[in-house]
Amino acid sequence: MRFKMHAMLKPAWKRFWLQNMRTHNLQILPFSHYSTLQSMSVHPQLQELCSIVMSTVGGLDELELSLNKFKDSLTSSLVAQAIDSSKHEAQTRRLLRFFLWSCKNLSHRLEDKDYNHALRVFAEKKDYTAMDILMGDLKKEGRAMDAETFSLVAENLVKLGKEDEALGIFKNLDKYKCSIDEFTVTAIVNALCSKGHGKRAEGVVWHHNDKITGTKPCIYRSLLYGWSVQRNVKEARRIIKEMKSNGVIPDLLCYNTFLRCLCERNLRHNPSGLVPEALNVMMEMKSHNVFPTSISYNILLSCLGKTRRVKESCQILETMKISGCDPDWVSYYLVAKVLFLSGRFGKGKEMVDQMIGKGLVPNHKFYYSLIGILCGVERVNYALELFEKMKKSSMGGYGPVYDVLIPKLCRGGDFEKGRELWDEASGMGITLQCSEDVLDPSITEVYKPTRPEKSSHVDSSRAKSPQKLTKFSGKMKMRKKTAAMKKKKK
């Protein structure tokens, strides 16, 4: 049983950590005691129940009247299958009324697992009222809540901003016939830390330290993330030190979490410290035989891009190559992005060519985002070149790019190129979202971006506005007039 519960918690951890590191998008299927894969056509009574529950006609009282007319034999398995089959279509209140009606009609034939199953469904749907009603019924009838259900309930209560309620249930788990053990402690700590409640999570750990012997690495990772959500570098660093002092060596995930916390903190308060402090953390990682990956460097590159540190971004990319950590397509994307945004279009183009030359195959976001940036900074010619590279890769999914480029070209006055791209898309069978009216010069207003005239000064960025120049010349005239009056007096 313990192994089973641990196996259930592990996928949640994977999802929790990998989503926050923004490296993968994992979809974890919710746990269920019942299979929803059975065809509804095999069970006419299931089909009838689902049609009643999912109906949009009438209120809750009408729903119950319709359920009362259900003549077939009602079983706990049928109730669970009806909830599973209806949960994505039916309104939550109708699902709740259906389950409460089932409780009344089946009485003691519903088992603890049926209540737990329904409670998990309402927790997944983040319906606090339904969860509260079922939790009350669970306790009143002396039924047992299992660890998996508590984990999901606690997680969703914290997401709803009801961490006090989650902690209240945890402290009174005995009233729900659920043990406070390493699994339930891990679940509440996980839930609290997911929303940055590191201090409260540490309080739970301190009170139940004797119950987490086998899950300390997992607990430390959670606490580290909890403090990192708040960008509290001091507390996050303390957790790293505690891990080492307790014989738990921080792994790559821990260091990447701390690195993100450090970089995001410096991005706001100390941009000049981004590179040196991040590289110090990477040196510390290597001293523990934990070697930075492209994900580690990409965290730094992302923050450097946000503060437009072009030179340092390019240097970090070179550092990756020298240190034996091959940049991935995300690394090249982050550097090319900051180059385009800062007006280094030739250098940005070279970066894209370099990535393609390395044989790296990016996903659609690489092209969508960079083409969008180039259109935004009025460099449609570079955007068209990049689109040609995208088409050469034969990855498909060109529709959104056509939808960006065609209106941009036409509003810039290049209706001929816009028409060419439209015909090209049509020839490939692509259905575009933009209207064909955009190709009509009599409908589409041409917008020519006005560029500031070049100043004769060496540094045009320092050229004064006409208002400032008028004010300045006025001051100079006053000074000359005052000086002339002083001369006369002498």
Closest CA to 438 of 417, 410, 416, 413: 410
Q: Is residue 213 part of a domain?
A: no
Closest CA to 308 of 267, 350, 347, 262: 267
Q: Is residue 39 part of a domain?
A: no
pLDDT at residue 75 is higher than 80: yes
Closest CA to 189 of 178, 197, 180: 197
Q: Do 190 and 222 meet the contact criterion of CB atoms below 8 Å apart? A: yes
Last residue of a domain, one of 447, 463, 485: 447
Total tally of structural domains belonging to the chain: 2
What lies within 8 Å, CB to CB, of 388 at 6+ separation is: none
Banded pLDDT at 464 (limits 50, 70, 90): very low
Task: Give the pLDDT score at 16.
Answer: 40
- Strand runs (DSSP E) across 45-138, as ranges? none
Task: Give me the percent of the chain exceeding a pLDDT of 70.
Answer: 82
Provide the residue count of the chain. Answer: 490
Q: Is residue 21 part of a domain?
A: no
Q: Is residue 316 part of a domain?
A: no
List of long-range contacts for 121-126, beta carbons under 8 Å, 24+ apart: 121/83, 121/84, 121/87, 121/95, 122/92, 122/95, 122/96, 123/149, 123/152, 123/153, 123/155, 123/156, 124/30, 124/87, 124/152, 124/156, 125/87, 125/92, 126/156, 126/159, 126/160
HEC per residue, 376-402:
HCCCHHHHHHHHHHHHHCCCCCCHHHH
Instruction: Indicate the residue type of 171.
Output: K
The number of angstroms, rounded, from the C-alpha of 443 to the middle of its chain's C-alpha atoms is: 40
Q: Which two tokens stand for residue 339?
A: 């180059």
Average pLDDT over residues 389-413: 91
Neighbour-count burial for 5-30, b at 16+ CB within 10 Å, e otherwise = bbebbeebeeebbeebbebeeeeeee
Q: Is residue 94 part of a domain?
A: yes
> What does the alpha-carbon distance between residue 105 and residue 223 come to, in Å, rounded to a whole number?
46
Task: Give the pLDDT score at 355.
Answer: 94
Instruction: Give Cα separations from 385 to 347, 348, 414, 426, 481 (angstroms).
Output: 14, 12, 16, 20, 60
Q: Is residue 483 part of a domain?
A: no
pLDDT digits (tens, 9 = 90+) for 360-399: 989 888 999 999 999 999 999 999 999 999 998 888 889 9
Closest CA to 84 of 52, 122, 112: 122
Task: Give the pLDDT score at 26.
Answer: 29
Instruction: Indicate the residue type of 438.
Output: V
Q: Which two tokens stand for residue 194?
A: 């997911």
Phi, psi for 212 (deg, rounded to 5): -120, 20
Closest CA to 183 of 212, 226, 152: 212
Q: Is residue 160 part of a domain?
A: yes
Residue-averaged pLDDT of the chain? 84
* Three-state SS at 247: coil
Instruction: Give Cα separations from 148 to 1, 5, 262, 364 (angstroms).
Output: 12, 7, 34, 37
Q: Which two tokens stand for residue 304?
A: 């450097």
> What does the alpha-carbon distance between residue 454 and residue 203 come to, in Å, rounded to a whole number?
63
Last residue of a domain, one of 144, 179, 214: 179
Banded pLDDT at 328 (limits 50, 70, 90): very high
Closest CA to 173 of 204, 213, 128, 194: 204
Average pLDDT over residues 412-423: 92
pLDDT at residue 298 is higher than 60: yes
> What does the alpha-carbon distance between residue 355 and residue 332 come to, in Å, rounded to a whole number?
6
Task: Give me the percent of the chain exceeding a pLDDT of 90.
Answer: 60
Q: Is residue 68 part of a domain?
A: yes
Which DSSP helix (H) or strand (E) runs through 333?
Answer: helix 329-341
pLDDT at residue 211 is higher than 70: yes
> What does the alpha-carbon distance between residue 9 and residue 14 come to, in Å, rounded to a whole number?
9
pLDDT digits (tens, 9 = 90+) for 228-259: 999 999 999 999 999 998 888 899 999 999 99
Looking at residue 25, the DSSP 8-state letter turns out to be -
Q: Structural domain of residue 75, as residue ranges?
A: 1-9+49-179
Q: Which two tokens stand for residue 280?
A: 């110090």
pLDDT at residue 277 is higher than 90: yes
Last residue of a domain, one of 179, 206, 241: 179
